[in-house]
Structure 1
């Protein structure tokens, strides 16, 4: 439906977008995910028609819209700041979006469409209220209803939930996703919140320094990160320097670990990635903690440095001498929210080979090495 072709953008001498190319299918929910300054908001502003690319083009259903003004694009936009008129009621705000577009069918009564949209976002009885009389979550629902009222070709969401508290944000994530699927509207959302992107989008596009670093389904990005940046930005990941020492083996610190090294030559410096939830914690008898006994493959000794309580789970900070590294591991706390006594001292860690991610070293680090 929408094709973004080699878009570049500079502000003065600073490149902001570096050859962005992306296709969006009809009915798809795409999330542009990345830290501040990665270019995601600039890309959304170009889609809106607020900014013009230096090079590249945009096509909508095969038609070049690069030079079209914002009003001609018939896109619905929801901003972080709500952008509601304080002197208009919720119903009047929705009606404003409908009355100021040629997209609304002439035969359709504005009042009926406004009532329909307010009911759709769960505000059927709140249309008479002014923005100041509504909560932040309700105001954002009004903004969403206003954007959807003219039946836009594309819905663009610019950090729509970042100003809300965690509980309201969680409920609106589910609500926006439900509406998107119910209406079948093609949606592009900008966010820096990985949980938001993973829980709402069909496809997540991770951006870094004006480029697309990796894209795929939320499950693909989490399970198979391709770069150090994606591994560190999407979810929590332990990252350790390592070196491939043989086919199927790498060395981290003084420890050899079995894993898939098929993409790398022997001798290659790499990064070893491991999710905290993949670390298997084992109680260790005193003999196993002594220096002499050999341990099974991919098993190392460690000691607990710190424990952080996170409700259903606890995060343990562990130091492993043989890996010459500190790792994070996750443990379910259970119904009583208590940890077993053996998790407070020395223990054994099992690092399953299928859970080990071997990642290329960033160019700057590789040159230094």
Structure 2
């Protein structure tokens, strides 16, 4: 299984917390779409085997017309071996999901929507500078659930003013709507974002770790009651509704990234396109890709498997590390992990290393502590 990610770098307005690559100007929209089409053709020989997932991310891919989305999918079918039952996800914003747009998408080949709700409260949406209102958030779900049976929504917690009761209300409404998948992230202050500036200038209060932790505990408890499985730290799905595309990232399966700032991975090499719309377009127009590539060392590959594996229910395969890289690496990882195994934070089962769900909030720090330099 492999996947294609397509980055659409346009947004109506900038969310204060976002550090993804995007532009609020669509003056070169046609040039960008043409460049993305050209890159798909230019790189068609890089993807060996069947493509089972296509993911439109951004930015805001729902700014594209359904005709434009179908055109990109037709191009993929022409030049790639697209599977017979692929998962095709479109990231959307509630304000783009008119009833007409939803009906158009429902008869397209898009079969999964990822809707950037973030909150069902206007005060939260204004704090984040989202383009939609709470009314639009609820209306988009009411309409989308009539036509799609595979819907994921994004929710953000850890806002300093977000009460525990309001956070639980966000979750309760999600459950009431029968949403099968939730991607939920703590508000993170990224450098050089508007949120970072507002906090440094005293306009906004910084997130409070203790409150963020309480929100996360509520998230884990309430989703468990509703029979969601926390299959990755920030992702909760009902049986049969895990994100196949994102799961491939966490399992180290190759993928191709198309569009400015998009990343690709083939098992040994990682590459990333330039995060500049004009330079990306100019390069493609000359039949070359403005990108950088790195060859992953053995330590790089193992560290990535640790970083992603400990975040998931699949853990880190010690057997695969032994088989692919040698017993010395497996032995070193277990040596590094010993103190966490002794205190019950990590455990080994069937040749896999797991992080207990109650310690998920510590995943990044523990992963970094296990990283290998050289054996």
Is this a same-fold pair by TM over 0.5? no
> Which TM-score applies when normalising by structure 2?
0.32
Tell which structure's C-alpha radius of gyration is larger: 1
Answer 1 or 2: which has greater helix percent: 2
More strand by share: 1
Q: TM-score, normalised by structure 1?
A: 0.32
